[in-house]
Amino acid sequence: MIRIPLRHTATTLALLGVALAIAAPFLLGTHDVLTGLRSVAWQVFAVLAASAILSAAAKAGKLQLMQSALGLHLHYMRTLTITVVTDFAFLVSPLGAAGYGVNMGLLQRSGASWALATTVVGADQALDLTFFAVAVPISLLFALGPLNALTPGFPLHAIAGTLTGIAIAAGVLWLCRRPAAAALAAATRRIVWLKARRARWNRFRQSVRQQWAVLLTAPRWRLAALLLLTMMQWLLRYSALWFILRELGYRLPLGFVLAVQAVVLHAALWTGVPAGGGGGDLGLAAVLAPWVPGTSMATALVLWRFATLYCPLLLGAGGFIVLAWHRRTVASMP
């Protein structure tokens, strides 16, 4: 029986996801993609690259605020390096799972306790989920009027049904939060491995709870800054496609483009293919087909991937080099 090392499997999946993301737009028309890209001004590429850098900088600022509130004082450039490396790990792993471990591991190397690192990563995800839970319904509501004017007879009941489904799902999750927590606690009591480490586990939970209390009781300016930076992070990333379509001559409502990306990309993420390779691209092309023809959409997808995949991967690769250089420098010191 041939055994494939886990590292080789992860590398293969990462390459597969990136390859599918690169190839998907060309399925809509290779010649049209190349022709369309030749007509794009270099300033568009510059704006898209800048949006990727500023999005990473906003996320790093968010993490910096949380870390400093919990007593971990890192230089901002160190936090930015951890951020871009973590994003790289998210993009090249199934379900983005490696990103959590990489983030916590790098924070621990920087002096954070296990509980502090867990709290920072968990709070980061909570802020992101809060943004999408609020932004998607609001974006769709504000997009209804412009979308109906742009496309008379558009099935608005489909969007209303989507909003209703999101509201019901959020309500069910909220109602089930306590039974789920109780079931998890009961399950952990039955696990032999945890029984032997009950005291350590309880100390860890208590520490995480205290860290969360510190974040939740932070000054209002800090909470406002965290929300603002979260908005900047995701609006810069999710407005890239809207900007690209405008440059190509297709003026769709920003709220609609943002909401479509949020739904399609999160659905593609659950396919297990890193970066939602292929599935996210073709899903966006299918949803936006009534307004954007396939030839133009192919060009838009290449530009969109430039902003949301290629640039973050390059930034992450640079972050890996910086961390390796810093580690070698520290190791060589007497």
**pLDDT by residue (tens digit) across 82-129?**
999 999 999 888 777 888 889 999 999 999 888 889 889 988 988 898
pLDDT given at position 80: 96
81 pLDDT more than 90: yes
Average pLDDT value for residue range 6-34: 70
Please indicate, yes or no, if residue 198 is contained in any of the structural domains.
Answer: yes
**Separation of alpha carbons 114 and 224, rounded Å:** 26
306 pLDDT more than 90: yes
CA distances from 266 to 61, 86, 149, 259, 263 (A): 24, 18, 28, 11, 5
Q: What is the dihedral of CA 119, 204, 111, 127, to 10 degrees?
A: 0
Please indicate, yes or no, if residue 288 is contained in any of the structural domains.
Answer: yes
Average pLDDT value for residue range 152-164: 60
Q: How far is CA 233 from the centre of its chain?
A: 9
Question: Residue 59 — very low, low, confident or very high, per pLDDT cuts 50/70/90?
Answer: very high
Using the structure block, give the residue that is written with the tokens 């870390």: 67
pLDDT given at position 37: 82
pLDDT given at position 1: 38
pLDDT given at position 326: 81
pLDDT given at position 178: 65
Please indicate, yes or no, if residue 151 is contained in any of the structural domains.
Answer: yes
**Separation of alpha carbons 272 and 10, rounded Å:** 12
Please indicate, yes or no, if residue 109 is contained in any of the structural domains.
Answer: yes
pLDDT given at position 219: 85
Please indicate, yes or no, if residue 150 is contained in any of the structural domains.
Answer: yes
Please indicate, yes or no, if residue 285 is contained in any of the structural domains.
Answer: yes
Question: Residue 225 — very low, low, confident or very high, per pLDDT cuts 50/70/90?
Answer: very high
- Widest Cα–Cα separation across the chain: 73
Q: Please count the structural domains in the chain.
A: 1
12 pLDDT more than 90: no
Per-chain mean pLDDT for the chain? 81
Please indicate, yes or no, if residue 1 is contained in any of the structural domains.
Answer: no
Question: Residue 31 — very low, low, confident or very high, per pLDDT cuts 50/70/90?
Answer: low
Q: Say which amino acid occupies 301.
A: L
* Residue range(s) defining the domain that contains residue 252: 6-332
pLDDT given at position 83: 96
* Top-confidence residue, 198 or 313: 313
| Helix axes of 156-175 and 177-190: crossing angle, nearest 10 degrees | 50
Q: What count of Cα atoms within 13 Å lies in the side-chain half-sphere of residue 150? A: 16
Which residues neighbour 60 within 8 Å (Cβ) at sequence distance 6 or greater? 76, 79, 80, 82, 83
Average pLDDT value for residue range 199-217: 68
Please indicate, yes or no, if residue 69 is contained in any of the structural domains.
Answer: yes
Question: Residue 48 — very low, low, confident or very high, per pLDDT cuts 50/70/90?
Answer: very high
For residues 94 and 273, the answer to whether their CB atoms sit within 8 Å is yes
